[in-house]
A and B are shown apart, each in its own frame.
Chain A
């Protein structure tokens, strides 16, 4: 048997996340179904006026994507907190910040990416133009990393608490407001209007990059703060 190079701990962590999510189920699939239900609720509430739905379509898709992402993030650290893996991560030589980043990357790939694929399809039910569909998909692609990482801060703060999910949403939703504002602005700008697409889109990319740079530190600090 040839010698087998052990893979880096982060790569192993990434594969572990994917395996766990696949075996548990309810990862990407459930998120997309929830997304579909949220998007469907709006026409039930507002009425089938397609002009109105097309105008607020990007906003509906963004709010639904935000909620679907946030509610899935509740479980980001919960399983590890329960079975003690979180303590192992905290004590290991691998920086906890990188562990957070890898877990968020896995979560984004499993939960947000299906949403980004589903969004243009659901946009058709809201009567969006092809350019608006592309704009929504692009803005979600640029903005969901920020949502995932900000949500990770909330998940780290509330890991192991009762009613953690509701509290996490209360803590993080105010911070995701800028992402939402620029995301919808980019999605709406894609279908024409006075604002060029790249202005809010580049700001959205900047928000995601800032989150990637800063959120792992806040989330890791929150995880370390959990030890009494």
Chain B
């Protein structure tokens, strides 16, 4: 990790890794979508609309995983002052918001035919909505504070304060009576769904994870380049001042 604290090393790594990740993502997504549409069985009750699950559930898992990645980066910023942690945090926020929005929208589209309602204020949906709002608040905080290091520290604190929401989301269906169904995959006693549905789900989850890491690496790379651009602009502006200001002339 220490080697990649140097942004140049990281950029070199990113240039090597991103193409492989992108191909792996494309293959995994292709495999997952093929399994979803042509292999996975219809549900005996829900028919083929159960296949929304193959996007909704991985998006939900990713929205929480992205927050944990962001929280680890926040620790990296506050505790170890790792320079890449700032960029990793900032890059993860819009990705997490996108996955959460995807989860909420696909859930809504699934809920209307299945439950008869677009939305219900039960514990699971409410806590995921709160997660979405926290992501949006973080994005707002990143945009409002101009100095990148200061923004990173403020965002890190807010991220760590909001991490309490993640276990609430996970256990909301166990702690409260919810319309959303209880845990079916990650629970004691093993998954409760049949193998023919579980395998496409896991393949889609792997595909989404690869997608996240690919996009995240690209976003971190872009953030590093953006910061360099900012630094160069500041230097260029003060160099212009220096040219016209006789006191700032270098000694002859």
* Interface, chain A (partner B; CB < 8 A): 153, 157-158, 161-164, 167, 170-171, 173-175, 177, 218, 221-222, 225-228
Chain A nearest CB from B51 CB (Å) reads 31
Which of B27-35, B55-63, B131-139, B191-199 lines the interface with chain A? Answer: B131-139
Tell me which residues from 130 to 177 in chain B have a Cβ below 8 Å from any Cβ of chain A: 130, 133-134, 136-137, 140-141, 144-145, 147, 149-150, 153-154, 156-158, 160-162, 165
* Interface, chain B (partner A; CB < 8 A): 78, 126, 130, 133-134, 136-137, 140-141, 144-145, 147, 149-150, 153-154, 156-158, 160-162, 165
Q: Which residues of A contact B78 (CB under 8 A)?
A: 221
Q: B133 and A174: CB pair below 8 A? A: yes
Q: Which residues of A contact B147 (CB under 8 A)?
A: 228
Q: Which residues of A contact B130 (CB under 8 A)?
A: 174, 177
Q: B140 and A175: CB pair below 8 A? A: no
Q: A173 and B157: CB pair below 8 A? A: no
Tell me which of A167, A174, A221, A228 contacts B150 (CB under 8 A).
Answer: A228
Chain A nearest CB from B148 CB (Å) reads 10
Q: A170 and B150: CB pair below 8 A? A: no
Q: B140 and A170: CB pair below 8 A? A: yes
CA distance A188 to B157 in the complex (A): 34
Question: Which A-B residue pairs are the 5 nearest by beta carbons?
Answer: A225-B153, A174-B133, A171-B137, A174-B130, A170-B137
Q: A225 and B133: CB pair below 8 A? A: no
Q: Which residues of A contact B165 (CB under 8 A)?
A: 174
Q: A161 and B145: CB pair below 8 A? A: yes
What residue of chain A has the Cβ atom nearest to residue B164's Cβ? A175
Q: Which residues of B contact A221 (CB under 8 A)?
A: 78, 157
Chain A nearest CB from B43 CB (Å) reads 33
Chain B nearest CB from A217 CB (Å) reads 10
CA distance A170 to B136 in the complex (A): 8
CA distance A157 to B153 in the complex (A): 9
Q: A162 and B144: CB pair below 8 A? A: yes
Q: B144 and A153: CB pair below 8 A? A: no
Tell me which of B150, B158, B160 contacts A171 (CB under 8 A).
Answer: B158
Tell me which of B133, B157, B161, B162 contacts A170 (CB under 8 A).
Answer: B133
